[in-house]
């Protein structure tokens, strides 16, 4: 009796590959995060429409060049993250050459660089908060302060969560004897999250700092 599986093998038919459950679950979860940030954007625009004069006065206190530099750092971290994913996909956990040979870097080195840039962004955001507080823009000062700190603060928490995830992925790469597909999948889904965080910040940057 000829089974469907044996017939498929005999005629060279490719079997359908099921999508990775972890990757699909991550994408679905990120979909819920999109709705969460959409709500924050809605709150920001609503409060802004109610107090246009307040917004005009308070946005003058923002340090646009500093925020732009901080944004560029975060955006560049997406590129280093993706290079780390490329290394993970070829199952290269660590570098195979000198430290200055970027083409020999593995996932760990690229993720270390991504972590450093992400941490720099968070430190820059904390510095910006301290500067604004000194200029009497705080969470409880007015509706602008509430909108600014809630939107950027929740994003900062997401960035911090991503930094923790990078450390876990890097630690796992050192813990296992052989870097395999399971570890590579973990690195890939973390990159999904990091790219999402970067895209959200670009939207926040345009809304808060560019659109006066």
Split at pLDDT 50, 70, 90, the class of 9 is very low
Measured CA to CA, the distance from residue 142 to residue 184 in angstroms comes to 46
Predicted pLDDT of residue 18: 53
How many beta carbons lie within 10 A of that of residue 7, not counting itself?
A: 10
Residue 137 has pLDDT above 50, yes or no: yes
Q: Which two tokens stand for residue 141?
A: 């000062």
Tell me: pLDDT of 5 over 60.
no
Q: Which of 20, 2, 18 is nearest to 10 (CA)?
A: 2
Give the separation between CA 137 and CA 148, rounded to whole angstroms: 9
- Cα(9)–Cα(3) distance, rounded to whole angstroms? 10
Q: Give the global pTM.
A: 0.86
Average of pLDDT values for 166-170?
Answer: 96
CA–CA separation, 48 and 56 (whole Å): 9
User: ∠178-170-189 over CA atoms, to 5°?
Assistant: 90
Predicted pLDDT at 146: 94
First to last CA, the chain: 74
What CA–CA distance (Å, rounded) separates 4 from 102?
A: 48
pLDDT at 20 over 80: no
Query: What are the angstrom distances between the C-alpha of 103 and each of 28, 99, 117, 142?
Result: 33, 10, 19, 50
Share of the chain above pLDDT 90, in %: 79
Q: What is the rounded distance in angstroms from the CA atom of residue 123 to the CA atom of residue 70?
A: 9
CATH topology of domain 37-210: 1.20.120
């Amino acid at each position: 009796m000829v089974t469907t599986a044996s017939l498929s093998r005999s005629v060279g038919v490719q079997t359908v590959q099921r999508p990775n459950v972890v990757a699909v679950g991550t994408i679905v979860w990120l979909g819920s995060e999109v709705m969460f940030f959409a709500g924050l954007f809605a709150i920001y625009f609503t409060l802004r429409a109610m107090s246009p004069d307040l917004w005009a006065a308070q946005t003058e206190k923002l340090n646009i060049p500093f925020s732009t530099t901080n944004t560029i750092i975060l955006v560049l971290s997406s590129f280093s993250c993706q290079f780390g994913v490329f290394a993970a996909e070829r199952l290269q956990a660590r570098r195979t050459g000198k430290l200055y040979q970027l083409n020999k870097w593995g996932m760990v080195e690229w993720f270390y660089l991504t972590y450093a840039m992400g941490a720099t962004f968070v430190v820059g955001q904390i510095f910006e908060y301290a500067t604004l507080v000194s200029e009497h823009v705080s969470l409880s000062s007015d509706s602008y302060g509430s909108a600014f700190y809630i939107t950027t603060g929740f994003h900062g928490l997401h960035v911090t969560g991503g930094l923790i995830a990078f450390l876990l992925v890097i630690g796992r790469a050192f813990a296992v004897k052989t870097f395999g597909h399971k570890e590579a999948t973990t690195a890939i889904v973390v990159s999904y999250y990091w790219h999402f965080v970067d895209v959200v910040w670009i939207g926040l940057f345009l809304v808060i700092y560019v659109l006066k």
